[in-house]
């Protein structure tokens, strides 16, 4: 938790290809043994790259996800498709359920807290989840403020629709970003829109001179340094996953081609006819997204995908 006040942009520099000054190892390192630094938080997300993170509601589903090759699971009470259908207030999962899932698998376990609900986040940190998703899929608890994520030892992932949102979340301490998409619809259109928006805005930022970049930072309502860093790197300074509506191996490949580092899959798996087979195929698709022949094999005979609701039919 300490040492975070120096500004996020300095600590994420390892993602950059550019050669930076070689750190001299000195004696004052001897005293250092720190948990919860931004390096280990964003590093946790880096270890999930090229992987698929699956929504699960029970220990049994978590085992299916692990055996299918998921690099982490997300514990939640109801998958987004059910939240969408049933309505009502969606909250953090019962900690007992999350602990059962943690005991069932060796891969990291993430869990969702409501936006702005830092008390839920504190509970999740206390039971030892590996990452918290401050998620719009649950009912928002604070209409104005997000959680101050620098205050936590556990890393956070947050949703974003565009570059401004992504960089604001990072400046609040998010160690990982995902597209918001339209969770629970089985329609990938919104995830694609958000992935493309972030990409386009980064390319735009790269084309600006410094004076223009100051103005762009004001437009986006983000810290200038963070925007400058992003433009230099040509990508978000933290790991960026796709999420919201992915239902097939082809959906996975599409988002990976758009520059995503990996994918979240929610309702798409356990709302389909053959979750085991589909989970395996979608996990393989993250690794082999550049290989259409392999994707063709993986897409064969998966049974019915989740029924889905086109995003254009969803009331906002």
Determine, following the binding rule CB under 8 A, whether residue 219 of this chain makes contact with another protein.
Answer: no
Q: Is the dihedral of CA 83, 84, 90, 92 positive or negative?
A: positive
Task: With CA atoms as reference, report the closest residue to 9 among 126, 173, 157.
Answer: 173
Residues 118, 99 contacting (CB under 8 angstroms): no
Determine, following the binding rule CB under 8 A, whether residue 20 of this chain makes contact with another protein.
Answer: yes
Instruction: Tell me 31's DSSP state.
Output: G
CA atoms of 237 and 137, how far apart (whole Å): 24
- 13-39 burial by CB neighbour count: b if 16+ within 10 A, else e? eeeeeeeeeeeeeeeeeeeeeeebbbe
CA atoms of 218 and 53, how far apart (whole Å): 34
CB closer to another protein, 20 vs 86: 20
Of the residues 41, 112, 149, 271, which is catalytic?
112
For residue 262, say whether it is annotated as part of any ligand binding site: no
For residue 267, say whether it is annotated as part of any ligand binding site: yes
CB closer to another protein, 175 vs 217: 175
Q: Read off the tokens for 63.
A: 């085992």
Determine, following the binding rule CB under 8 A, whether residue 288 of this chain makes contact with another protein.
Answer: yes
Determine, following the binding rule CB under 8 A, whether residue 245 of this chain makes contact with another protein.
Answer: no
Residues 40-59 that bind another protein (CB under 8 A): 40-41, 43-44, 46-51
The 10 Å Cβ neighbour count of residue 287 is 15
Whether 27 is catalytic: no
End-to-end CA distance of the chain: 38
Cα→Cα distances 166→53, 126, 169, Å: 19, 26, 5
The nearest distance, CB 153 to another protein, in angstroms, is 5
Determine, following the binding rule CB under 8 A, whether residue 39 of this chain makes contact with another protein.
Answer: yes
For residue 268, say whether it is annotated as part of any ligand binding site: no
CB closer to another protein, 33 vs 89: 33
Stretch that binds another protein, among 106-114, 194-202, 213-221, 268-276 (CB under 8 A): 106-114
Q: Residues interacting with another protein, by CB under 8 A?
A: 13-17, 19-23, 25-27, 29-30, 32-37, 39-41, 43-44, 46-51, 63, 66-72, 104-108, 125, 128-131, 153-155, 283-284, 286-288, 291
Positions marked catalytic? 112
Residues marked as binding for D-glyceraldehyde 3-phosphate? 196
């Amino acid at each position: 938790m300490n040492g975070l006040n120096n500004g996020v942009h300095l600590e994420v520099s390892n993602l950059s290809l550019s050669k930076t000054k070689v750190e001299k190892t000195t004696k004052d390192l001897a005293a250092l043994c720190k948990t919860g630094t931004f390096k280990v938080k964003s590093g946790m997300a880096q270890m999930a790259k090229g992987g698929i993170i699956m929504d699960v509601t029970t220990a049994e589903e978590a085992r299916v996800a692990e055996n299918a090759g998921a690099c982490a699971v997300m514990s939640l009470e109801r998958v987004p498709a059910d939240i969408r259908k049933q309505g009502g207030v969606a909250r953090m999962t019962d900690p007992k359920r999350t602990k059962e899932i943690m005991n069932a698998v060796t891969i990291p376990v993430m869990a969702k807290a409501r936006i702005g609900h830092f008390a839920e986040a504190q509970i999740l940190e206390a039971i030892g989840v590996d990452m918290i998703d401050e998620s719009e899929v649950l009912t928002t608890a604070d209409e104005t403020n997000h959680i101050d994520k620098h205050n936590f030892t556990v890393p956070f992932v947050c949703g974003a629709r565009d570059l401004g949102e992504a960089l604001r979340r990072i400046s609040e301490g998010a160690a990982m970003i995902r597209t918001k998409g339209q969770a629970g619809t089985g329609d990938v259109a919104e995830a694609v829109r958000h992935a493309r928006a972030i990409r386009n805005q980064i390319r735009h930022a790269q084309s600006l001179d410094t004076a223009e970049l100051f103005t762009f930072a004001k437009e986006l309502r983000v810290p200038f340094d963070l925007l400058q860093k992003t433009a230099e790197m040509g990508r978000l300074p933290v790991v960026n996953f796709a999420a919201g509506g992915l239902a097939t191996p082809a959906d996975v490949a599409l988002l990976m081609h758009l520059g995503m580092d990996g994918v979240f899959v929610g309702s798409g798996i356990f709302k389909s006819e053959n979750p085991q087979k589909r989970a395996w195929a979608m996990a393989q698709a993250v690794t082999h997204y550049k290989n259409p022949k392999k994707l063709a094999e993986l897409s064969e005979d998966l049974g019915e995908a989740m029924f889905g609701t086109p995003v254009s039919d969803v009331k906002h």
